[in-house]
Amino acid sequence: MRTEPALDARALRQVFGLFATGVTVVTARHADAEPVAITANSFTSVSMEPPLVLWCLDNRSRHLPAFAPGRMFAVHVLNDGQVELALRHARSGGAPESPRAARPALPVVEGALARIECRVADRPVAGDHHIIIGRVHDVAVADGAPLVFHASRFGRFAPA
């Protein structure tokens, strides 16, 4: 049996960080109604028909049960003035600062550029993360500029 050479984890993390992304905060509630807010830059669209999106959550996250199949969540695309919000939920994964319900029991992040409300359609495991696949049920859009993440830093989008 042939074994693959070991990858340098620090170099791999650096390479992954060179891909610029938008920044989202994903919200949900645990079964006991405790609100959850998690910063994620692994968000991407999957399909228009049916409308599907995905994001990834660490297998060790205490919030994994809030994203069980069939449960609702919302993805909030952050604007370029929401760095502190992104940092707060990257560290704690705690409750949104001012949770407001878009639908019963679904916390909302005020001021986001977009909100995508979803139901968990699937949750396969891939390595050290779960891929949370959501079927989109509703969207809301606002004006503004997006928050961008590149090389472990937040910034603003500058058109070429």
Domain residue ranges of the chain, discontinuous segments joined by +: 21-151
Full pLDDT tens readout for the chain, 160 residues: 667 778 888 999 899 999 999 999 999 999 998 999 999 999 999 999 999 999 999 999 999 999 999 999 999 999 999 999 999 999 765 556 555 555 556 899 999 999 999 999 999 999 999 999 999 999 999 999 999 999 999 999 988 8
Give backbone dihedrals phi and psi of 102, rounded to 5 degrees, phi first. -80, -45
pLDDT of amino acid 87: 96
In sequence order, what are the residues at sequence separation of 6 or more whose Cβ sits closer than 8 angstroms to the Cβ of residue 103?
A: 72, 117, 138
- What type of residue is 115? R
Does CATH number 1.10.260.40 belong to domain 21-151? no
Q: What is the DSSP secondary-structure string of 97-111?
A: SS-EESSTT-EE-TT
- Classify 160 as helix, strand or coil: coil
